[in-house]
Chains A and B, each alone.
Chain A
């Protein structure tokens, strides 16, 4: 009778294979089917910009874009994103040249602890692409899925207004787009 090594616990669970295309780069993955898009980005790909706040679809800290639409990565299975275009905060500016929305958040002091900020920024990009940054009230309504425990809302609205302008109703045609997909 030969002893066989027991399969690794992780490997004995139902696995699934797919490719995550993040900020224009392909990442083939073989994982436990339970992996959420948030955990895949954060723990498997080392893209730690996207944050886990509530992990139950309430706070908006995990907001990313899938095929150009802002969604919650904590309630999205990674496997569901096979062949989709994912854009995260890492695909925006560089340290030397920030994305205009990132720069506006700095200039307007639109955060304190900063934990919700990547989600706020990805959501703000979606907001502008949707043409919903026309007034402070409109910004507040359509940014309501992003919670800021520090209460930096006034300055978040100011930062978004600064980038979106008001004359064009906040249409984002002239806002640089996130890499790897329409934001």
Chain B
């Protein structure tokens, strides 16, 4: 790890001023990605601004939404009674992530900003990584890419976004509250992430020196059915090969009145499957509709030799989740 200066901020304004004064400074919250990548030499900040003591630890229910402070830990949000009752898929996604120790450290703001697990990105001895060094190439495209993405990829980067909870949050139309020296703003999470294109190093809408202050999660309506299903190589403490976040409203005639679908483990960003939602909305909850929705979700997939199985796996994961939430078509 390269030497750095450590400073601790107690107010948001102080943290933003520290960041504005030094373009080579990074914020430090839970540290589970930041310190790991600093040890590996991938991140090399001159200065770490410890934000863990900022007053961004609260969870508040306001006007049909849960406002979650950026420094709320994954375990804290999973234990929140309102989240458990009204956002059960969020709770499920959190509890299927990482380990308890990591969830006690990792914050919600940090989770949204976590970096990919692509082994080439995390290994600076590999020269070709457009995410680390724009224009250097992508070692994964012709290398080991079994765990890499099939949706939202480009020839420049196929790294998977690893977050579970962000998949549920894009499905739920969560909004990111951002603070910056130039002012505060709100961005829908679906518009927050950037697919790699020819600039894989640009991962989201955050500008230099800006800080996520909170995440606003609209609560599901009473009676909504939802679930998060994660499929992986082992049953615990592992990243998703494919995952599905589903919430639907089911009418008395068993027609799907509305649907929200997110996919994880298969895309370069937490993936909102609007094509699947269009198929589901207004359709009967049955196996044929589920299969059509799943096919629509992966219609744009660009599989490669080692990850082609994810196209099938993502569809099966989505169909299974739809069966579970509707109790139909199994």
Contacts and interface: CB of A to CB of B under 8 A. Distances in A.
Nearest to B6: A33
Contacts of B98: 145
Interface stretch (A22-30, A44-52, A75-83): A75-83
A80 B236 contact: no
Contacts of B62: none
A137 B40 CA distance: 34
A79 B105 contact: no
Name A's interface SS: mixed
Interface in B1-40: 1, 3-6, 8, 28, 31-32, 35-36, 39-40
A36 B39 CA distance: 11
A34 B1 CA distance: 7
A32 interface: yes
A72 B101 contact: yes
A71 B3 CA distance: 24
Contact of A55 (B8, B39, B236): B39
Interface string B43-61: 0000010101000000000
- Which range contains the number of A residues in contact with the other chain? 20 to 34
Contacts of A13: 3
Interface residues of B, number: 27
Contacts of B237: 144-145
B100 interface: yes
A76 B48 CA distance: 13
A32 B32 contact: no
A16 B235 CA distance: 41
A169 B54 CA distance: 36
B18 to A, nearest CB: 14
A130 interface: yes
Contact of A71 (B39, B105, B236): B105
Given A16-B6, A75-B35, A70 B100 contact: yes
A150 B145 CA distance: 30
A34 B101 contact: no
Contact of B100 (A33, A57, A123): A123
B283 interface: no
A7 interface: no
B257 to A, nearest CB: 34
A141 interface: yes
A34 B50 contact: no
A10 B40 CA distance: 21
A26 B97 CA distance: 34
Contact of A33 (B5, B104, B235): B5
B105 A75 contact: yes
A141 B36 CA distance: 24
Given A70-B104, A76-B105, A60 B99 contact: yes
A76 B50 CA distance: 11
Given A32-B3, A36-B35, A80-B52, A144 B101 contact: no
Nearest to A145: B99
A36 B237 CA distance: 23
A16 B48 CA distance: 12
B50 A79 contact: yes
Interface in A83-110: none
25 contacts: A13-B3, A16-B6, A33-B3, A33-B5, A34-B4, A55-B39, A56-B39, A69-B75, A70-B104, A72-B32, A72-B101, A72-B105, A75-B31, A75-B102, A75-B105, A76-B31, A76-B35, A79-B8, A79-B50, A127-B100, A140-B236, A141-B235, A144-B99, A145-B100, A145-B102
Interface of B: 1, 3-6, 8, 28, 31-32, 35-36, 39-40, 48, 50, 52, 75, 98-102, 104-105, 235-237
Given A57-B102, A75-B36, 12 more contacts: A14-B3, A16-B6, A69-B75, A70-B100, A76-B31, A76-B105, A77-B6, A77-B50, A79-B8, A126-B100, A144-B237, A145-B101
